Amino acid sequence: MENLFAIRENVLAWVREAGVVLLEKVNGPLKIEEKSSDIDLVTDMDLWTESFLLEKIQSTYPTHTCITEETGKNQQVSDYVWIIDPIDGTTNYAHGFPFFAISIALQYKGETVLGVVYAPKLNECFHSIKGEGAYVNEQKLQVSAPKDVKKSLLATGFPYDRATAVDNNVDHFTHMMKRVQGIRRAGSAALDLCYVAKGTLDGYWEMKLKIWDIAAGALIVKEAGGQYQEKALATGFSVLASAPSIFHDLHAELHSIFE
């Protein structure tokens, strides 16, 4: 296996360089287009960031495979696969809301071994190497330890087809809001997972996510001591992450999303 510590240093430098440009452009003007619906957006800065990161990866690691949100998968066949979301939280970015991030994961033979999630507006860079713990900037992360779901703070999100689909998470949200201290919906799956790792959130669930939404954040949660489960369905991944002390109870409340 290649030196993951050296790779991490490269990725940290790349995301910070891209983050400078994202912050310069965050107040516009932005070119914004709709993808699958009028609430599924892509900006010119999503495309620029993706192109910038692909150039860095392909010039440094030319034999590696890359999977990205906007342009898909290259034709390279490799044990190393990069999974990139150039801006997780594009709607937030387009509106100047600070909860957005660049998310990059590296898999080796199907296993995620490196994850970086950088939120430039918040100046928080989450990163992890498998087996080496998880960090935000230089601070080591540890999940929270609530004793009761009733006193927990959770996060969730809703799919882009929520206006037309039956499985849109609204019923789960309504069910859970009566059973916990609070639920937040901030609009970035990658950062929601990182905030579980940080201990700010006690748990997080969501449906119909894509691999680039969760690959980096999932590793960061697990390396911070959290429990994590995902299930691949035709519509995307169903995900649950939380502090171990409440994982069983949350899973019992949300079991239908994994059926």
Catalytic residue set: 69, 85, 87-88, 90, 213
Q: What backbone phi and psi angles, to 5 degrees, belong to 163? A: -75, -20
Q: Which residues contact 115 (CB under 8 A, 6 or more apart)?
A: 103, 104, 105, 106, 126, 127, 128, 215, 216, 217, 218, 219, 220
| Residue count of the chain | 259
SS3 50: helix
What's phi and psi for 146, nearest 5 deg?
-65, 145
Nearest-CA neighbor of 241 among 259, 212, 214?
A: 214
d(CA 159, CA 40): 9
Q: What is the DSSP letter of 38?
A: T
